[in-house]
Chains A and B, each alone.
Chain A
Amino acid sequence: IGTASPDSGVEERPKWDNKIQYLLTCIGFAVGLGNIWRFPYLCQIYGGGAFLIPYLIALVFEGLPLLYLELAIGQRLRMGSIGVWKSISPLLGGVGIASMIVSFLVSIFYNTIIAWVLWYFFHSFQNPLPWSQCPLNDNHTGYDVECEKSTSVNYFWYRQTLNITPDIETSGSLQWWLVICLASAWCVVYICFIKGIESMGKAVYVTATFPYLVLTIFLVRALTLPGATDGLVYLFTPDWEILKNPQVWLDAATQIFFSLSVAFGGLIAFSSYNSERNNCERDAVLVGVINSATSLYASISIFSILGFKATNAYNSCREDNILDLTNHFELSDQNMTLENYYQWYDYLNSTFPDEVASLPLKSCNLQTFLDQSASGTGLAFIVFTEAVMEMPGSQVWAILFFIMLLSLGLSSMFGNIEGVLTPMHDLKIVPKWIPNEVLTAIICLASFLMSLIFTLGSGNYWVEVFNGYVGSVPLLIIAFFEIIGVIYVYGMKNFSEDIYFMTGSRPNIYWKACWMVISPIMLLAVLIAYVGLQAQKHPTYPTWNPDYELFPQTQVKDYPDWVFAIILLLCIVPVISIPVVALYELICCKIQRSSARAEPSPYCNDGFVVETQEQNNQRF
């Protein structure tokens, strides 16, 4: 398998216009929404600066080797994920099919998130922002009850956007506004993908670079807001004790793995369009380092803004107390301010302790507000929108933020869709007379119809199910088989020769050690730990239930059995193809071999073959 099977001369493999397009596409695929809303959260809950240590270790020993492996194998064998694994060994064809299935399932729910971002983007063109006010109730005597109890931002997200049902069993109906947002999201993806990598390569100039511009703008803006430095200090203050907790190491390893978007097949597809002699080692290191640097940069921006938000909340908490005290004790207006709050409070508490105790004063602590962390959609659609409300010129910031999320999501979607389309070409199940544009349209339409599930009332719960289970365990298994397949089935020697052919130098001891020993062991450990932790308790999920006694807290419910069965299906169906295809090939191969022995081929002259073998033996 030293020489790659060339494509038939009629159909030329598409190529990148230039190196920059390729790099930007890979970076765009790797840098996604998780860099914005997952990494800062992890940094925060795992002791700030101290989290960087397990994160960087995981990057060096797990992330970069896997990335380099995928880019190299794709570039050498010049096929999508199914073709590559079939070339290495027919028994490994299932790995490619697993990648394709996972890419398809992930692209379905990922585009739903883009649809939500589009919804918020469309609504950012209003003054005042729709999530800043509670709507009035039916007879205009007060505000809507659900909105009163929680906040206007929560209400806008849970009621006006999602119209969420109290649990996953109540499906509700299709929300028409989400359906049209979803349709527009798929149309945007389609127009970027219409000409394959020609159109996508041009779209990626914008989608991959725009987030950095917005992050910089936000950073500059946030650093001028009061309280930004509190947020940054809080984020980066290291808590070295946390390193003793094994959960931290597990989360760092999983974060780097999912962040780099390996095992989707998209990276293999992208590098297969490269010229054969491209330095993929440099590319891999570049993409990996830029991905982590982006996570760090994003967390600085995000945390400056969260620090500002926490300071605001702290100040308004104290101002509420000031108002209560001023009104009760009939002090002159503005006599008690934020600056002299504590002196006044001590004085009043010492002179009139009973009266002060009777007032409904809140305890205001900046740490508590900084501790309020959120990740995922909660960070983007609740916490950040609330922060944006308090910044002057909120519409501009909201629009910028949502365009940034849109770019990040789109560039990751490109990788997912590529992970579905290229294997379909490789499988050659599509008749030649169907042009590529039509095939892409069919895939987009099929995905759109399937993702209508996520526009139901219980859609958000389903997105969480897919996010938690499709995008985790199957990927770890696929990556493990990838590394075993390349290093042990294809052979480290063959792979080194290929890399020497492509880059002009053989991989050094670091890469070899990682590929042969460290990365597989790490992957296996992470997989076992991850599955073990998940299996320990019955999975639960938080629900938004207005009838809950402790509303607005989310009510934690168990997944019902049928949902649990679906979860198991989602984990198993992608990876089942690996053993199934292997078995199929084994059985087919055995049948072929036995049938070949039964019928002697007229072209197969055993005597001649034996002679040449003896000649070969004599020569060496």
Chain B
Amino acid sequence: MLEKILILLCLSSALAEQPCKPDASDGYKVRLSIKTALGDEAYVWNENEMFLFRATLAFAMRSHLNGQEFDVSNIIVCDETPRVTFWFVVTSPLNTSGLVDKGVVEEAIRMSRNRINSAFLLTDKTLEFIGITPTLTAPVNPDTPPWLIVFGVVMGAVGAGIIVVLVSPLVLKKRKKNEETDEDEEETGVKAVENGSTREGVYNMSFSDDERLTQM
């Protein structure tokens, strides 16, 4: 009796371990580089962190496959190394012995990649899913290329400078010409006044002084 129980236990444990092994067809390898990412503020990788990982992954599966209630127990992890790498497989909640297809897992992870990364304060480079390439961020393409703006500013200044330098002597010349014609007009005007002036003449003092002298 005892032997049968032992054999059953062994078989069941063997079966339970079967889904997750290195190079599993439906599993993925995960590699974390915590010290590289966080330096002095790196946290230690322990059982709790592993629990968080499994929970996050279950969340990702739930978000992708709406309706299927994935639980932490559906994420099976194995082959952990000091590098902090491990393999994981995902079992389906509907059929505990069946594994979720690799493609589906990949899609789920892609969709929630950002959330998974931020749960661990890591980035696409430091939390790697071997086999799932991160989607590249499309480069920001502003409507007006910034270089055209700088070009416009510089060329505007240069063009304005050219126009100013070329036009200002012409303007000065014109102004000088106008001043000269004004002066000519003033001179002719003064001449006309001079000719017709009746106030010119030297005052003859001898007549006014006569009265004083004769009073003696």
Interface string of A376-411 (1 = CB under 8 A from B): 000000000000000000000000000000000000
Given the complex, which residues of A lie within 8 Å of B36, measured CB to CB?
Answer: 333-334
Per DSSP, chain B at the interface is: helix
Select which of B138, B159, B162 is within 8 A of A194 by beta carbon: B162
Q: Does A355 sit at the interface, judged by CB under 8 A?
A: no
Binary B-proximity of A163-186 (CB < 8 A = 1, otherwise 0): 000000000000000001100100
Q: Would A333 and B139 count as touching, CB distance under 8 A?
A: no
Binding-face segment, B78-86, B89-97, B197-205: B78-86
| A-B pairs under 8 A by CB, number | 69
In-complex Cβ contact of B147 among A125, A140, A437 (8 A): A125
Range, interface on chain B:
20 to 34
Q: Mark B26-46, 1 if CB is under 8 A from A, else 0.
A: 000001111110000000000
Residue of B nearest to A180 (CB): B151
Beyond A122-B150, A126-B146, whether A191 also contacts B158 by CB under 8 A is yes
Asked if residues A142 and B151 are in contact (CB atoms below 8 Å), the reply is: no
State whether the Cβ of A331 lies closer than 8 Å to any Cβ in chain B: yes
Closest CB in chain B relative to A414 CB, distance in Å = 16
**Contact yes or no, A199 B158, CB < 8 A:** no
The answer to whether B159 touches A187 (Cβ under 8 A) is: yes
A569 to chain B: closest CB distance in Å?
35
Contacts of B35 in A (CB 8 A): 333-334
Determine the residue in chain A with the shortest Cβ distance to B80: A330
Docked pose: A480 CA to B107 CA in angstroms = 76
Q: Would B82 and A330 count as touching, CB distance under 8 A?
A: yes
With beta carbons under 8 angstroms apart, the residue of A119, A143, A181, A191 that contacts B162 is A191
Most buried by A among B31, B148, B161: B161
Please state if B162 and A326 are interface contacts (CB–CB under 8 Å): no
Residue A133 lies at the interface, judged by CB distance under 8 Å to chain B: yes
Q: What 0/1 readout, one digit per residue, does chain B (134-170) give for beta carbons within 8 Å of chain A?
A: 0010110000001110110011001101100110000
Q: How large is the interface on A (under 10, 10 to 19, 20 to 34, 35 or more residues)?
A: 20 to 34
Task: Point out the residues of chain B lying under 8 angstroms from A588, CB to CB.
Answer: none
Kindly list chain A residues whose C-beta atoms are within 8 Å of the C-beta of B31: 327
Structural contact, A184 and B166, CB atoms closer than 8 A: no
Contact between chains at B83 and A194 (CB < 8 Å):
no
Report chain B residues within 8 Å CB of A180.
151
| A240–B158 CA distance with the chains assembled, in angstroms | 51
A327 to B83, Cβ gap below 8 A?
Answer: yes
Asked whether B136 lies within 8 Å of A143 as measured between CB atoms, the reply is yes
| A-binding residues in B (CB < 8 A) | 31-36, 81-85, 136, 138-139, 146-148, 150-151, 154-155, 158-159, 161-162, 165-166
10 A-B pairs besides A180-B151, A327-B31 with CB distance below 8 A are A122-B147, A125-B147, A136-B139, A140-B138, A142-B136, A184-B151, A199-B165, A332-B84, A333-B33, A334-B35
